[in-house]
Amino acid sequence: MKKKLISIIIVTLLFTLISGCGIGKNSKNSEEASVNDIVGVWYEVDVLDSRTLTVNEDATFSLEYRGGGTMYGTVEVTYEEHPDGTKSAWYSFKDVDGTELVAFAKSDDEIQKELFSGQDGELHFYRSEYIDEYNAPESEPSGMTGMINPWRDTTEEEASGYVPNGFSAPEGSTNIRWSVCEPVEGSTNPEIMVQLDFDYEGLSYTAREQAVPGTEITDISGLYYEWTSESDGILANWAGGKMPCKFYRYVGEEGYVDLVLWFDIETGYAYSLSTQSDDLDGFDIQAIAEMIYDPDKQFGANMPDDTDELDEYSIEFIKNITEETVESIDITGCDTFTQIVDKALTKGMGYANETICDNDVLLVSSATYDDLEGANAAIDSIVYVYKDGVPYEIGKVTSGGTAYPITVKDGYLYTGSNHWICKYAIANNKLMIMEHIAIVYDAEGNGTYYYDSEDGGDYSNFDNKEAEKIYDKLTDEMMNGTVVKYSTKA
């Protein structure tokens, strides 16, 4: 059944001691220990998804997960006798079935401010009344981040600026709260996470969005249950009504937890939506996942009026989207590509040298990400060439998500999404879309292909079957090209 107290593994306690040695942060605490000594609220530290532990006077506890969901159980004091006759006191945490999950050593301090688990101290909680002491720079433990909780409250407007294809609370929701989790050094995923908490029709929900590496559905919920049931599904609204998703349900003595996960392959962002209640029998979380879809927050939804009139499959639409999403940088006084990197780029931006149509170019991206194949990739870039001996911006490019990193093949540059592919060339110091192909699906899922080019030709009546062949060809070229390897500005 059990929900784990740690994110991925259950801490196994080692009770066999070397003679004369203490355990973890505990040395020789006395037999005089009581659960009352740790009653109160404790915050988990040195982790991204900080949890809140509450120990009650009746020797029960609750562990509240940042992503939603709560675990319950009991606490008791246990003792371990050492060879020298002394004893160590432990606070043993058990689930509702009485199975021990983890134990924290009693300290010798008059007031115990910290809880460390086992010998390794893998779990670390700090008493809420003294959390300011922990956060003080002079008291940061060696090797620790010193951050109790990287989450901070924010506004819906700010949150929407961090992520594409966002969500909103359904109409009629209450207790709406937006927050973001800032990446910290050493994080396995250095991307900002956006979270929305809201109440709707008697239930509380937590929705999350975060960029992730790879192209698969990824669990960013912060929930770690042994799920009672799992199933696959398709969400309406998202991805034109064809968004694959995974449903999970946990049923235990402490109640029900429902979770749905999905992944937007166009943007490379993962999503989760969860809720918890005493009884969710007959409840369908899919309907809520579809309700939080906000068309006004989707890629390209808030373009200027002239762009709104453009067909989503047209070259002009792609160019306007690119112009709006990729910001130029000031390279005044930069006489070389190296000077652009040294003087104009800020921390986290990417840069790469490539040859496009026999032109030496510098590509500058707003950020980079790990493509899981040992390289830093990017989905947007400003393109610079040398003109009259100095760097000159000739255009910008962007892809629809991390599943489509900027790629080169045979001297051409490629961007794309799961609905379109662009092949770029350079001619007369201008960046041009040599070939652009898009597919648009109708309500029945039938695809129509659209081909275009900036070569001046009229392709308005281009044959659909021929366009499909070009779509397959350009997709093959991009997939078999070389992902541009960016360096990241330190």
Is residue 350 scored above 80 in pLDDT?
yes
CA neighbor of 92 nearest in space, from 75, 116, 113, 117: 75
Is residue 28 scored above 70 in pLDDT?
no
Q: Report the range out of 104-108, 386-390, 399-403 with the highest average pLDDT.
A: 386-390
Mean pLDDT of 361-379: 86
> Which segments of the chain belong to CATH 2.40.128?
35-139
Is residue 316 scored above 60 in pLDDT?
yes
Least confident of 38-42, 88-92, 133-137, 356-360: 133-137
Using the structure block, give the residue that is written with the tokens 């029945």: 444
Tens of pLDDT, residue by residue over 63-84, are 887 666 678 899 999 988 888 8
Tens of pLDDT, residue by residue over 431-476, are 999 999 988 876 566 788 999 999 888 888 889 899 999 999 999 9
Whether residue 256 contacts residue 280, with contact meaning beta carbons closer than 8 Å, is answered with yes
pLDDT band at 186 (very low <50, low <70, confident <90, very high): very low
Tens of pLDDT, residue by residue over 301-310, are 544 444 344 4
What distance in Å separates the CA atoms of residue 133 and residue 113, rounded to the nearest whole number?
Answer: 10
What distance in Å separates the CA atoms of residue 320 and residue 325, rounded to the nearest whole number?
Answer: 9
Domain 35-139 grouped into CATH 2.40.128 = yes
What distance in Å separates the CA atoms of residue 105 and residue 114, rounded to the nearest whole number?
Answer: 10
What distance in Å separates the CA atoms of residue 189 and residue 341, rounded to the nearest whole number?
Answer: 25
**Residue 275 to residues 13, 156, 236, 260, 359: CA-CA distances in angstroms?**
32, 20, 19, 10, 54
What distance in Å separates the CA atoms of residue 38 and residue 421, rounded to the nearest whole number?
Answer: 60
Phi/psi for 260 (5° steps) reads -130, 135
